[in-house]
């Protein structure tokens, strides 16, 4: 759903994200290296940013990316753990390990958009809007920040994920 | 209420070098290290050098059954810091901010399910809630999980929220506990060395990791009521390189932008030293030297504390800030343990011996996976 309207998608679970990539993005093959959380955050951010009507992909330091969730990077954590659990089948994977930090999704969004402002990630036990609102507002204490791409981006596994994102602009 | 300034009023460090900030600081002054070499630890095939805490030697807590080592270390650290001041942890005007990269990830190795079915499960928010409940703090705790810069971010978040006047105190605790998950992960990236790390040195070959928990309790104080001698968090910034998710920008963009922001309103002569991230990887240390040079700060003494504690991940930003504050209380610039000969392209001023300074201001900087960088300028308030 974007700005109150449903967008057409197909596919179950995480296939929907790949389908959305093909329909609405299509020009960023790095998408296929990303883990679930990063794909989710990337797609959500692309859908918003494509329709903002502003110039994109020019380096800027005044847009912050501040995301929240409950599950951290659990999908990548479980995946990485599976590469080290069996001593007879021990193959620690660096490409999986890199995604075992939830803030990587903010890095992926920053790289795509050349956002050189603040990127932050916070984990809360539940989605508490007053806390989230207070923290987003307080981020403007950084005088260099004029807008924030903010949201709740939670990915537990291929069939359990949600993202709600918005842009907040300083008056 | 608005515009209150974050003042550090109490602190604690738990590491292999001691259970209090004082013990840890004295060990650093003595040049001691918590690093040791481990072969076959946890059944991992490759040896590594790290600062591991002897878990059996941690003091007991009342009702500690069911707490994980991570939760226990956080609680011990916070309680020890609280014992130095009169902050009421049970007040809704006291906020708990945790900084950690992997929290209770050890639990994954002990469970076959991926859902959180038990009270102590691997989700960071759950661990934070367990800790808040133990301490009887009524607020939803905030967990900063911004890779290795989390400890600096958590302090910046504390200063922002204290400035709003919604809280009087922020208890900022950073901690990470090493495990096969973390060590094997860094080994898979070829980021570790099994020798003592050598920040900024020409022969540096990588990181040593370390266990630690570190706490700073901040109070929001009106600008006209600052106590003399108080450590204040003057300016902080987080900036992304927008370059790569696991390598720093070769031009140090994010680090440079963060430094430039926090140096607004200060001059180079005011700054006693820059406590860098200095993890002793080829890329990180080179990048920091470029950022420092670009920011026009090449003359300022630079040090790294990784040779004493290892890289303590979620704890690092807080732990290294505490040691820096204590050093500057005595007018000391601590040397960079493991450094002998400059091995970065910019000629920056690495502190090699204990030096003296009359300045009472320092900059803490850090960088982390995801391309993030952070810096804070701290000043000791002189009335």
What DSSP string runs through B11-65? EEEEBTTBSSHHHHHHHHHTT----EEESSGGG-SS-EEEE---GGGSPP-TT-T
Smallest Cα–Cα separation from B369: which of B150, B131, B195, B69?
A: B150
Supply the DSSP symbol for A4: T
Which domain, by its residues, includes A26? 15-169
pLDDT in tens, chain B (383 residues): 458 999 999 999 999 999 999 999 999 999 999 999 999 999 999 999 999 999 999 999 999 998 999 999 999 999 999 999 999 999 999 999 999 999 999 998 875 444 445 544 789 999 999 999 999 999 999 999 999 999 999 999 999 999 999 999 999 999 999 999 999 999 999 999 999 999 999 999 999 999 999 999 999 999 999 999 999 999 999 999 999 999 999 999 999 999 999 999 998 899 999 999 999 999 999 999 999 999 999 999 999 999 999 999 999 999 999 999 999 999 999 999 999 999 999 999 999 999 999 999 999 999 999 999 999 999 999 88
Task: Say whether B145 and A102 touch across the interface (CB within 8 A).
Answer: yes
Tokens 């992304």 sit at which residue?
Answer: B240
Same domain, B331 and B367: yes
Q: Is A106 in the B-facing interface, judged by CB distances under 8 Å? A: yes
Q: What is the CATH number of the domain that holds B34?
A: 3.40.47.10
Query: Which residues of chain B are within 8 Å of residue A121 when distances are taken between CB atoms?
Result: 144-146
- Tell whether A8 is covered by a domain: no
Same domain, B136 and B151: yes
pTM of this structure = 0.97
Residue B220: strand, helix, or coil: strand
Length of chain A: 171
Backbone angles phi, psi at B230, to 5 degrees: -80, 140
Task: Say whether B144 and A122 touch across the interface (CB within 8 A).
Answer: yes
Q: Is A29 in the B-facing interface, judged by CB distances under 8 Å? A: no
Same domain, B145 and B25: yes
Of the partner residues B123, B370, B371, the one whose CB lies closest to the CB of residue A70 = B123
- Which string of DSSP letters, residue by residue, matches B99-112? E-SSTTGGGGGG-S
| Overall domain count for chain B | 2
Question: From CA B198, how far away is CA B279, in angstroms rounded?
Answer: 8
Same domain, B193 and B58: yes
Chain A nearest C-alpha distance from B188 (Å) = 5
Same domain, B118 and B173: yes
The answer to whether the CB of B97 falls within 8 A of the CB of B154 is yes
Same domain, B219 and B162: yes
Query: Which residues of chain A are within 8 Å of residue B241 when distances are taken between CB atoms?
Result: 110, 116
Of the partner residues A98, A103, A157, the one whose CB lies closest to the CB of residue B114 = A157
Smallest Cα–Cα separation from B161: which of A167, A122, A139, A118?
A: A139
Task: Say whether A114 and B244 touch across the interface (CB within 8 A).
Answer: no
Q: Which of B202, B223, B244 is the last residue of a domain?
A: B223
Which domain, by its residues, includes B366? 228-380
| Overall domain count for chain A | 1
Same domain, B143 and B260: no
Structure tokens, B90: 């049970």
- Tell whether A140 is covered by a domain: yes
CA A122 to chain centre: 12
Of the partner residues B144, B189, B243, the one whose CB lies closest to the CB of residue A111 = B243
- Tell me how crowded residue B80 is: count the other CB atoms within 10 A of its CB: 20
Q: Residue B338 to residues A57, B38, B204, B367: CA-CA distances in angstroms?
A: 41, 19, 9, 20
Task: Say whether A80 and B147 touch across the interface (CB within 8 A).
Answer: no
- Tell whether A3 is covered by a domain: no
Same domain, B245 and B232: yes
Structure tokens, A40: 């989710």
The answer to whether the CB of B283 falls within 8 A of the CB of B190 is no
Q: Residue A167 to residues A17, A46, A102, A147, B157: CA-CA distances in angstroms?
A: 21, 12, 20, 7, 20
Structure tokens, B259: 């430094």
Q: What is the CATH number of the domain that holds A39?
A: 3.40.47.10
- Tell whether A89 is covered by a domain: yes
Query: Which residues of chain B are within 8 Å of residue A141 when distances are taken between CB atoms?
Result: 159-160, 163
Same domain, B214 and B238: no
- Tell me how crowded residue B126 is: count the other CB atoms within 10 A of its CB: 23
Same domain, B264 and B181: no
């Amino acid at each position: 759903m974007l700005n109150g309207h449903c967008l057409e998608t197909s596919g179950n679970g995480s296939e929907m994200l790949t389908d959305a990539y093909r329909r609405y993005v299509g020009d960023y093959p790095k998408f296929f290296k990303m883990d679930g959380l990063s794909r989710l955050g990337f797609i959500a951010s692309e859908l918003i940013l494509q329709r903002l009507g502003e110039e994109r992909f020019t380096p800027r330091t005044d847009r912050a990316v501040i995301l929240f969730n409950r599950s951290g990077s659990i999908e990548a954590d479980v995946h990485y753990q599976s590469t080290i659990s069996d001593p007879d089948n021990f193959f620690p994977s660096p490409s999986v390990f890199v995604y075992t930090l939830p803030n990587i999704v903010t890095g992926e969004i920053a790289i795509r958009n050349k956002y050189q402002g603040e990127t932050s990630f916070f984990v809360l036990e539940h989605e508490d809007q007053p806390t989230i609102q207070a923290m987003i507002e307080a981020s403007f204490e950084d005088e260099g920040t004029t807008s924030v791409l903010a949201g709740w981006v939670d990915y537990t596994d291929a069939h359990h994920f949600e993202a709600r994102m918005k842009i907040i602009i300083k008056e | 209420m608005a515009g209150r300034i974050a003042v550090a009023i109490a602190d604690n460090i738990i590491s292999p070098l001691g259970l209090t900030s004082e013990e840890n600081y004295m060990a650093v002054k003595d040049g001691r290290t918590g690093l040791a070499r481990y072969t076959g630890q946890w059944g991992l095939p490759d040896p590594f050098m790290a600062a591991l805490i002897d878990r059996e030697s941690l003091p007991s807590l009342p009702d500690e059954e069911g707490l994980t080592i991570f939760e226990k270390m956080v609680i011990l650290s916070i309680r020890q810091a609280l014992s130095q001041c009169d902050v009421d942890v049970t007040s809704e005007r006291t906020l708990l901010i945790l900084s950690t990269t992997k929290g209770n990830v050890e639990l994954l190795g002990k469970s076959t399910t991926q859902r959180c079915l038990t009270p102590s499960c691997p989700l960071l928010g759950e661990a934070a809630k367990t800790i808040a409940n133990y301490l009887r703090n009524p607020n939803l705790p905030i967990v900063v999980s911004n890779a290795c810069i989390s400890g600096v971010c958590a302090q910046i978040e504390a200063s922002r929220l204290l400035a709003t006047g919604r809280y009087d105190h922020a208890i900022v605790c950073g901690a990470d506990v090493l495990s096969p998950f973390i060590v094997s992960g860094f080994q898979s990236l070829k980021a570790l060395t099994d020798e003592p790390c050598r920040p900024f040195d020409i022969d540096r070959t990588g990181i040593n990791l370390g266990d630690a928990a570190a706490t700073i309790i901040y109070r929001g104080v009106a600008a006209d009521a600052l106590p003399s001698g108080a450590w204040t968090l003057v300016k902080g910034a987080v900036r992304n390189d927008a370059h790569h998710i696991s390598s720093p920008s070769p031009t140090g963009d994010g680090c440079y932008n963060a430094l430039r922001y926090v140096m607004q309103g200060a001059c180079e002569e005011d700054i006693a030293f820059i406590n860098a991230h200095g993890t002793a990887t080829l890329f990180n240390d080179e990048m920091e030297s470029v950022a420092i040079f670009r920011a026009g700060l090449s003359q300022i003494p630079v040090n790294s504390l990784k040779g004493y504690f290892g890289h303590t991940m979620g704890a690092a930003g807080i732990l290294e800030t505490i040691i820096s504050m204590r050093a500057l209380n005595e007018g000391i610039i601590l040397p960079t343990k493991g450094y002998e000969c400059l091995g970065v392209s910019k000629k920056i001023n690495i502190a090699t011996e204990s030096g003296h300074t009359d300045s009472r201001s320092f900059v803490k900087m850090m960088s982390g996976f995801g391309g993030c960088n952070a810096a804070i300028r701290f000043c000791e308030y002189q009335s």
